Amino acid sequence: MLGAPRGTIAVVSGEAPRPGPGEVLVRLEACGICYSDLFVAGLEKLPLVPLTLGHEGIGRVVETGPGVDGYAAGDRVGITFLAGTCGECDLCRSGRERYCARQINFGYTAHGALATYAAVCAQYLAPIPDSLPAAEAAPLCCAGWTAHAAVGEAGLGPGQAIGIFGMGGLGHLAVQYALLRGLRVAAVDTAEEKLEQARALGAELAVPSETAGRTLQKQMGGVDAAVVLTGAPAAIQQAFRAVKRTGTVVVVGLSSNQYELPIVDTVLKGIGVRGSYLGTRAGLEEVLRLGASGQVRPRVETFAIEEAPRLMEQLSHGQLMGRAVVVF
């Protein structure tokens, strides 16, 4: 739980919440630790304090509140960052509800899933196959969903080259999704251990961040698109250097850092820049299907809830491989 903006993250005890109208009470099996949790914890203002973090939750419904249809006790569900939207704007009506200006988010504007029990809005829960282990399913609800959508936003076809910048919890999944699309994959990171992981997954190239732009231009003739999964300005800069003329840079990582767009290169080389956030409902279904079939496997380490504050600290220093998952 986060007690105040930019405050200390702590594990506390309390009574289980009761589900309100449109909500269900979920007993959690597992919840992933996400960099977005750190981003929220670092904000100067929060809409809800104290705040229970977490938005990669897997559990079973134990009670339903008034007005809930489609869920019953015993159903296995996944909790994502998206807790609800207005359902009325053009974005909601066109399947782009993740960009709704009036959205509600678990672990930010609503209490999240890093708890034994969570009372959550039922609107955007995802059915989770019983065959998918909870610790593997949890990261798919955010890291997998986000990485899958970002690779899709690149708009590439078989044989084209994609650079994936950041080989953490999202990056190692993005490599797998890109390979399933038949793409040539170049992985970029500052840590050699993470580059080794990318090579083991099948990346054609795995190169250090500081020389990525020059190296990818020299060895691959540049990439058709670069997906930047970190908010580090240096990574975005290298991504611009790595893409071919008329290529695309897809920015995913959240950060309070600022980056000045290279206007001349963007204009004269016809480089497209776009953001990517979460994904579509159909995309989440596909992510869970690929996970259940074993075609995409997140690398996870499991921990007890008491270790969550330490894990957040390690994540802030880039010291975690794959995804850390709290199991209950």
| CATH number for the domain harbouring residue 102 | 3.90.180.10
Residue ranges of E strands in 6-134? 23-32, 57-64, 76-79, 82-84, 104-105, 117-121, 126-127
Considering the chain, what percentage of its residues have pLDDT values greater than 70?
A: 100
Task: Let me know whether 155 and 260 are in one domain.
Answer: yes
- pLDDT tens-place string over residues 136-153: 999 999 999 999 999 999
CA dist 238 → 42, 211, 223, 229, 262 (Å): 26, 8, 12, 13, 11
Residue ranges of E strands in 15-56? 23-32
Task: Let me know whether 116 and 182 are in one domain.
Answer: no
**Domain coverage including residue 92:** 23-128+298-327
Alpha helices (H) in 205-306, listed in sequence order: 212-220, 233-242, 263-268, 281-293
- What pTM was estimated for this model as a whole? 0.94
- Name beta bridge partners: 251: 228, 275
- pLDDT tens-place string over residues 57-71: 999 999 999 999 999
CA dist 310 → 73, 180, 273, 315 (Å): 33, 34, 35, 9
Q: Is the peptide bond before 50 cis (omega within 30 degrees of 0)?
A: yes
163 and 215 in contact (C-beta within 8 Å)? Answer: no
174 and 197 in contact (C-beta within 8 Å)? Answer: no
Q: Does 135 map to a domain?
A: no
Q: Does 15 map to a domain?
A: no
Assigned token pair, 302: 């499991």
Q: Residue 319's pLDDT band (boundaries 50, 70, 90)? A: confident
Alpha helices (H) in 70-144, listed in sequence order: 90-93, 134-139
Considering the chain, what percentage of its residues have pLDDT values greater than 90?
A: 85
- Measured CA to CA, the distance from residue 89 to residue 114 in angstroms comes to 31
168 and 144 in contact (C-beta within 8 Å)? Answer: no
Q: Residue 73's pLDDT band (boundaries 50, 70, 90)? A: very high
CA dist 230 → 4, 36, 155, 302 (Å): 25, 11, 20, 23
Task: Let me know whether 154 and 269 are in one domain.
Answer: yes
Q: What are phi and psi of 96, to 5 degrees?
A: -115, 40
Secondary structure (3-state) at 116: coil
Give the mean pLDDT of 271-297: 96
Q: Residue 286's pLDDT band (boundaries 50, 70, 90)? A: very high
Burial (0-12, 13-18, 19+ Cβ within 10 Å), 307? middle
- Structural domains in the chain (count): 2
Largest CA distance in the chain: 61
Task: Let me know whether 152 and 268 are in one domain.
Answer: yes
Task: Let me know whether 269 and 242 are in one domain.
Answer: yes
186 and 204 in contact (C-beta within 8 Å)? Answer: yes
Task: Let me know whether 45 and 120 are in one domain.
Answer: yes
Assigned token pair, 118: 């969570």
CATH number of the domain bearing residue 158:
3.40.50.720
Assigned token pair, 188: 């970029």
Mean pLDDT of the chain: 94
Task: Let me know whether 164 and 207 are in one domain.
Answer: yes
- Measured CA to CA, the distance from residue 58 to residue 135 in angstroms comes to 8
Task: Let me know whether 304 and 271 are in one domain.
Answer: no
Task: Let me know whether 31 and 108 are in one domain.
Answer: yes
Alpha helices (H) in 114-190, listed in sequence order: 134-139, 145-153, 171-180
- pLDDT tens-place string over residues 76-132: 999 999 999 999 999 999 999 999 999 999 999 999 999 999 999 998 899 999 999
Task: Let me know whether 255 and 162 are in one domain.
Answer: yes
